[in-house]
Amino acid sequence: MNEETIEAVVFDVYGTLFGFGRLAERARAIVGDVPLLDRWRTKQLEHSFLRTILGEYEDFWVITAQALDAACEQLELELLPEEREHLLQGWLELDPFPETAMALERLAERGLRLAVLSNGSPMMLEQLLRMAGLREWFEAVLSADAVRRYKPSPAVYALAPAHLVVPPERILFCSANGFDVAGALRYGFRVCWVDRTGSALDALGKQPHRTVQSLTELSEQL
């Protein structure tokens, strides 16, 4: 990979720039050891995939709420309205990973253009990035909402080159999510898998151009 050709770095958001630790704590405080957050996240992704296949778009905030309800039904949990609200609100108040701000600063200093490209709705992304004080680093906050379907649909990835006016092969796309690595590779980006846990990558048989354990590691390499 010739690094000199990379002009922009585009980040996935949930699980890549922001972790779920704080949301997991909220869930634990309400339901104890029941694996609600795991089921919720799984349902959220499943619903976004299924709605994309069905051609039946719903806002990601609605999908997130419906996925919580579906997860609770399956786990036979009944939340109070204020507990449900508190959990949902958690998506707007996630913590960035400890190294996120410093890594973004370093990449910006190198003259790289930075953007995010996420399944999150514009409202969710803007609130989250502002709350965390990270909004200023990104020249674009791109949401799947603009094309009314979800990653890994090629139409979502196409937002980045169109908006930045940079060809896909000069964009490094960073994600911690296997399905996102698969979609970004297929679309034609350079792809970096952020593997914080040493887990197995499931990117439908494809291999990313690089793998890092943290955004710090990425920022030191570019």
Number of amino acids touching its own copies (CB under 8 A)? 29
Stretch of residues binding its own copies (CB under 8 A), selected from 51-59, 88-96, 119-127, 164-172: 51-59
The pair of structure tokens assigned to 7 is 């002009």
Say how many CA atoms lie within 13 Å of 136 toward its Cβ.
4
How many CB atoms sit inside 10 A of residue 23's CB? 23
Minimum distance from residue 50 beta carbon to its own copies (Å) = 5
Say what the alpha-carbon torsion angle 182, 175, 21, 46 is, to the nearest 10 degrees.
-30
Q: Would you give the distance in Å from CA 10 to the centre of its chain? A: 11
Q: Could you say which of 13, 16, 40, 51 contacts its own copies (CB under 8 A)? A: 51
Segment 157 to 216, residues that bind its own copies, using CB under 8 A: 179, 182-183, 186, 199-200, 202, 204-205
Segment 115 to 144, residues that bind its own copies, using CB under 8 A: none
Q: What angle do CA 201, 144, 27 make, to 5 degrees?
A: 65
81 binds its own copies (CB under 8 A): no
Residue 12: active-site member: yes
Q: Could you say which of 44, 52, 64, 143 contacts its own copies (CB under 8 A)? A: 52
Catalytic residues: 12
